[in-house]
Amino acid sequence: GQQLNQSPQSMFIQEGEDVSMNCTSSSIFNTWLWYKQDPGEGPVLLIALYKAGELTSNGRLTAQFGITRKDSFLNISASIPSDVGIYFCAGQPGGADGLTFGKGTHLIIQP
Amino acid sequence: EAQVTQNPRYLITVTGKKLTVTCSQNMNHEYMSWYRQDPGLGLRQIYYSMNVEVTDKGDVPEGYKVSRKEKRNFPLILESPSPNQTSLYFCASSWTGGNGYTFGSGTRLTVV
């Protein structure tokens, strides 16, 4: 199947810092999604992107759908302790296709 | 409350003993899917279903079966579990193939 390269694999940051993570693919996606997973729970959708070049915010989170349709990034501004968790990108080639997930970015925040 | 319900949350079983993990959604979603999550490998799709009686293989279908006799239910069946199927399993559903999956809380399976 298709693969997404998500980086970094993990991040150790101080509370209040900004965070940036990204995903790249060798093939085109028509939808990019970003999820967050808290310990012991299933992933929860944060932001969905449907158009190349689209920039979307959800509170302190901002994500962009790359112009080439082969990449996406997620930024978190002014991190707080509850931002801790695993963040996954996911791409969908077409409307009837399933999602392909990146391997996740593990965010750890030091107070 | 709109949700995807998986049962059981935790399961320890022995090699070769058939088991079923149930998944049910109350949102009338057409699309349902099973994923397994392993350290360092992320979420990998096992099987998915576009609608009732329509199922298809994902990226790692070997050793698993599914059925979709009703819209709301999508059970995952392991006919003869093996230790390499020890994993965290998630069921998910959505209106279409990708927009806004809703995930269940997961089933942690250990096969000894």
A104 touches B at CB < 8 Å: yes
Task: Please indicate whether, in this complex, the C-beta atoms of B58 and A45 are within 8 angstroms of each other.
Answer: no
pLDDT digits (tens, 9 = 90+) for A54-98: 999 999 999 999 999 999 999 999 999 999 999 999 998 876 667
- Of B60, B55, B65, whose CA–CA distance to B32 is shortest? B55
Query: How many other C-beta atoms can be found within 10 angstroms of the C-beta atom of residue A40?
Result: 10
Task: Please indicate whether, in this complex, the C-beta atoms of B40 and A48 are within 8 angstroms of each other.
Answer: no
Size of interface A-B (CB pairs under 8 A): 67
A106 touches B at CB < 8 Å: no
- Of A56, A13, A10, whose CA–CA distance to A33 is shortest? A56
B96 touches A at CB < 8 Å: yes
pLDDT digits (tens, 9 = 90+) for A11-26: 999 999 999 999 999 9
Q: Which residue has the higher pLDDT, B11 or B42?
A: B11
